[in-house]
Structure 1
Amino acid sequence: MSSKTVELVSECFIKPSPLPEMAKQPFHLAPFDLALLSVNYIQKGLLFKKIVVANDQENPVEALVQKLKQSLSATLAHFYPLAGRLATKREESLHSHVVFIDCVNSPGARFVQSKVDLTISDIVSPTYVPSVVHSFFDHDRAVVYDGHTMSLLTVQVTELKDGVFIGCSMNHSVADGTSYWHFFNTLSEVFMEENGKEVSEISRPPIHDRWFPDGYGPVFNLPYTHTDQFIKRHEAPELKERIFHFSAAALARIKAKANAKCSNKSITISSLQALSGLMWRCMTRVRGLPRDQITSCYLAMNNRPKFHPPLSQNCFGCCIQLVRATAAAGNLLSEDFEWAALQVHNAVAEHDEKALSKFIADVLQTPSVIHLGPAFDSGSVMMGSSPRFDMYGNEFGLGKAVAVLSGYANKFDGKVTSYPGPEDGGSMDLEICLPPKFMTAFECDEELLDGLNLSG
């Protein structure tokens, strides 16, 4: 299977239809957006079974592609920043960069049709996610700043022998996970309409007003004169990617165990917080870190509900922040699992309006850009995405997806991506990225197997 390559069938650019009047003005990015200029695009997608038709009927994939193009054009009328390009205004005398979105001088979003001589089983049956999946997405190894010359969004449809993969690659300064799946859900919603939807008729219209602190915006300066001062490209080490499935029953056990010894009965450790604590302990154990080395468990937090008043979940943009639980490796492993889960819970609970205000004040005082490699130490675990996102509700006339998969982007030693499980009822999938020597130990870890209900 390693010799199989993805073949390009066709490509084009899709513009919003119609282009909203507001899209003719520069679309300015906020501090949360600009902090991600040096990370990769978001790459997520869904694998479906191919519809079987009689030989004399129209090719179902070609029909899917044509309708998807029309649906994309209609959807972009709502999500018009995704059809633009990044643009920069440099102020040499002020030593600053102003990056914004130009929706006028752009060919639109990119649409790619491709195919590969593989089956669904070739993709989902192996223990580790095959590397060919990375070719199901555009913008391989691109960083957000490349959106000056590359599309801010590419939708790619890849035909397999018995399946179809629909994936999106989306600029991370334009959208976070909440906004990514908002767009994806809307694209599916528009597609499922028999005759397409009018611009005013989608169920969740996006809100495009970027949030800026009082006295700031809509123009926000970065204190750089040259891109090499803030753009650094990350090359991941050799990694194994494996998806671990936690049933609803297993998650209930893990959550109950995390809360059993909690002396403060007014708090409840969530399933995801408990699972994060488990990942933190298991990865720290297999890495064999010195007892005094500080380890970290990071979680990507949606800041929309943290504002006062809260921002709507329909606010389209990038509004995330990393929260961090820390512990010395020796303490993390000598204490019990419940202690680790509580540390994760406390880190999340402490991320309140006051903490957000301090973070914003620090950003305004010293604007900076995150660099993917140096941002995470060798003893860290990073929990990304969310099982709360509606992934399996997107059907595109193909029925429920078989699996959620991701590309090369934003992966490193210790990256964990959480998805809802494919079956209803509260299960969860975790996509784990570890170097081969650590993965071998990790998948045999007794505490992990017990959490999966696979021990004994």
Structure 2
Amino acid sequence: MPLLPIQVTELVDAVFIGCSMNHTLGDGTSYWNFFNTWSQIFQSQAQGHEYNVPILNRWFPSDCDPSVNLPFKHHDEFICNYEAPFLRERVFHFSAESIAKLKAKANSESNTTKISSFQSLSALVWRSITLARSVPYEQKTSCKMAINNRSRMEPPMPEEYFGNLVQVVSAETTTRELLENDLGWAAWLLHVAVTNHNDKVVLQSLQGWSQSPFIPQIGRLFDPYSVLMGSSPRFNKYGCEFGMGKAVAIRSGYANKFDGKVTSYPGREGGGSIDLEVCLLPHIMRALESDKEFMNAVSVSNPLF
């Protein structure tokens, strides 16, 4: 299987560009740096501008041996073809104004100014999906967030570093605590999880992995009571331009989908707006669509979608 397949499909009135990259090769930052650099190369040829060059030198912690011996004798020990259940996928649009209200509400309820827009939005999604699932009150539930380690290293790694420097941070509580407390309470849990993820934590996890290496498998990493916020609305997804104008929409394929997976995109109009691609079991999606608090925060988006 190719590490980087690209397919361009010509439609009657449009062009669809599809690209897939093995996650072992790079993370979301690397993926969108590649896509944006590809676009910059195209534009520089037409306009004579320079473009950014990715940094391809491999980075390893100073106390880690770059050669890793995987403790497997047969590929069946680490290759698992995850079969996702039948899911409903829907894209929910949140305007900059709606997200600003969520952020102000979360900070006010937590008596702070430190909670970010995305932490506030993620808290809403976590609480709403947990409620839609009708999870028992004493059941543990978690919200996991993909996090870029580049800026958290000491000294920081450059954003142009091409590789995989993404990890997952997690906030966990009981369903009772999550639903009986307010939005700000949940958002603060996420804020603490992000803030505590620093250089020391990253190096400890890498050292632990090098001593006991394993291959991550989707089916074994996420439980039916978790929510995973993947990708990032900070990626410059609509800045890619190949002579046909701004993209009409950004969508993801069928890989890495499971109940509770949420993929975030910048809104097409920019300005801090966000689109969330939510994957849920059909009956849970119906319950989410009936959640007044959640749907009141959702904004009207392009009627084409």
User: TM-score band, normalised by the shorter chain?
Assistant: over 0.9
CA contact (8 A) 2:218 2:256 kept: yes
SS in 1 for 2:9: strand
2:14 to 163, 167, 184: 163
CA contact (8 A) 2:148 2:166 kept: yes
Q: Using the alignment, how far apart are the partners of 1:211 and 1:417 within structure 2?
A: 27
CA contact (8 A) 1:186 1:202 kept: no
2:55 to 207, 217, 225: 207
Counterpart residue type for residue 83 of structure 2: E
Aligned-pair CA distance for 1:453: 5.8
Aligned-pair CA distance for 1:247: 0.3
Decide whether aligned partners of structure 1 residues 243 and 391 sit closer, same or farther in structure 2, where only a CA change above 3 A counts: same
Counterpart residue type for residue 154 of structure 2: H
1:311 to 137, 144, 157: 157
Q: Which residue of 2 aligns with 1:401?
A: 247
SS in 2 for 1:298: strand
Counterpart residue type for residue 177 of structure 2: N
Aligned-pair CA distance for 1:220: 2.1
Structure of greater Rg: 1
Q: Using the alignment, how far apart are the partners of 2:44 and 2:147 within structure 1?
A: 33
Q: Which has the higher contact order (CA 8 A, sep 6+)?
A: 2
- TM-score where L is the length of structure 2: 0.94
Q: Which residue of 2 aligns with 1:292?
A: 138
2:2 to 143, 146, 151: 151
Q: Using the alignment, how far apart are the partners of 1:442 and 1:278 within structure 2?
A: 11
CA contact (8 A) 1:298 1:382 kept: yes
Q: Which residue of 2 aligns with 1:348?
A: 194
Q: Which residue of 1 aligns with 2:28?
A: 177
Aligned length: 300
1:186 to 37, 40, 43: 37
Q: Using the alignment, how far apart are the partners of 1:415 and 1:174 within structure 2?
A: 21
CA contact (8 A) 2:44 2:51 kept: no
Structure 1 unaligned regions, length at least 5: 1-149
Q: Which residue of 2 aligns with 1:243?
A: 91
1:296-350 per-position Cα deviation (integer Å, ceiling 9, x unaligned): 1000000111111111111101111100000111111111111111111111111
Task: Report whether the alignment pairs 1:414 with 2:260.
Answer: yes
User: Would you tell me which structure has more strand in proportion to its own residues?
Assistant: 1
Aligned-pair CA distance for 1:373: 1.1
Aligned-pair CA distance for 1:279: 0.6
- TM-score where L is the length of structure 1: 0.64
Aligned-pair CA distance for 1:244: 0.3
Q: How does 1:131-142 map to 2 (within 5 A)?
A: none
CA contact (8 A) 2:64 2:210 kept: no
2:282 to 436, 441, 447: 436
Identity of aligned residues (%): 51
Counterpart residue type for residue 366 of structure 1: S
Q: How does 1:263-412 map to 2 (within 5 A)?
A: 263=111, 265=112, 267-412=113-258
SS in 1 for 2:250: strand
Q: Using the alignment, how far apart are the partners of 2:271 and 2:259 within structure 1?
A: 30
SS in 2 for 1:161: coil
Aligned-pair CA distance for 1:285: 0.3
Q: Using the alignment, how far apart are the partners of 1:195 and 1:431 within structure 2?
A: 34
Q: Using the alignment, how far apart are the partners of 2:201 and 2:255 within structure 1?
A: 29
Q: Using the alignment, how far apart are the partners of 1:390 and 1:309 within structure 2?
A: 24
1:211-249 per-position Cα deviation (integer Å, ceiling 9, x unaligned): 212243432221212111111111111011110000010
TM superposition outliers: structure 1 runs of 4+ over 6 Å: none
CA contact (8 A) 1:246 1:427 kept: yes
Structure 2 unaligned regions, length at least 5: 301-305
> 365-374 vs 187-196, which deviates more?
187-196
Aligned-pair CA distance for 1:449: 1.5
CA contact (8 A) 1:176 1:318 kept: yes
Q: Using the alignment, how far apart are the partners of 2:105 and 2:299 within structure 1?
A: 13
